Amino acid sequence: MEDLKRYNRLNEYLKNKFGERVLKICIDGGFTCPNRDGTVGKLGCIFCSERGSGEHINTSENISMQVANYFSSYKSSRANKFIAYFQNFTNTYDTIENLRKKYNSALIDSRIVGLQIATRPDCINENICKLLKEYTAQYYVCVELGLQTSNETTSLLINRGYSNSTFTNAVSLLNQYGIDVVAHIMVGLPNEDRNDLKNTVDFINKHKINGIKIHNVYVVENTILADMYRKGDYIPMEFEEYLDSLIYVITHIAPNIVIHRISGDAPKDLLIAPKWNIHKKWILNGLDKSLKEKNLYQGIYSEMST
């Protein structure tokens, strides 16, 4: 079996879908989060920094300018087709009118073929699904939903702010409108073990999910998790432990799900621990080597593969 075929990589999925390489344009849409503005909470999730998940994005520019600057940079020469990816905070958390304006502000170039929206399950409703459905006539549309874990006790600890049933309802609604769903999970959350990871993977397999993002927990400055780490209340996973957990997810997740990422990209200027997190190739190469040596592949132990 070819190494590329041992799990469904996003770049291969997009290449098969569009006939050539497709890259993402990461966009800060100027959104906030109900877990920060007081609607659900004010402190956010314990691992989330003040900049949200898109620490690498220049947030000083408006949406159209971010896209225009991307296309004027060397990055745009690496592909002919692109996906506008709204990454920072909760990108469906606004009025329908403002959401439409923001999404349209990104779709300013004919080379953009897709729209990807990162959000929270509690910020998905029928009106938002109807809006997203409008774009499917011209663009590939997918929604990324944060699950992190299926352990409701952990969800309270990390201050997630919504229940598992909220996630299930959001997935069901997006399924009804034919919009692909990408689930986001985190490996190495406080107090979790392999059994928690098993339950989270099993939970995802019960849903109609198109893709998954697997994210190791890292500690960055200006977070509650950083305070926990310094007090000795949280110890990040070692590299080998994460690699072992990653292999578990790959081999137990449904074989049809697309793997969008296998690790988180921590901002180097904010990263406290673990230091191995900055070496993304260690993770990628380690996974490929282990899968090949053990002759493993995606979904080999999934009930959906039998």
Q: With bands split at pLDDT 50, 70 and 90, how would you rate the model's confidence at 297?
A: very high
What total of structural domains would you count in the chain? 1
For residue 28, give its domain range.
3-305
Please give the pLDDT value at position 42.
77
* pLDDT tens figures, 178-230: 999 999 999 999 999 999 999 999 999 999 999 999 999 999 999 999 999 99
* pLDDT tens figures, 87-119: 999 999 999 999 999 999 999 999 999 999 999
Q: With bands split at pLDDT 50, 70 and 90, how would you rate the model's confidence at 2?
A: low
Query: CA-to-CA distance for 44 and 89, rounded, in angstroms?
Result: 10
State the burial class of residue 10 (Cβ atoms within 10 Å of its Cβ: 0-12, 13-18, 19+): middle
The mean pLDDT value for 124-141 works out to: 98
Query: CA-to-CA distance for 227 and 224, rounded, in angstroms?
Result: 5
Residue 252 has pLDDT above 50, yes or no: yes
Residue 12 has pLDDT above 50, yes or no: yes
Is-contact 43 224, C-beta < 8 A?
yes
Residue 57 has pLDDT above 50, yes or no: no
pLDDT, the chain, mean: 92
CATH number of the domain enclosing 282: 3.20.20.70
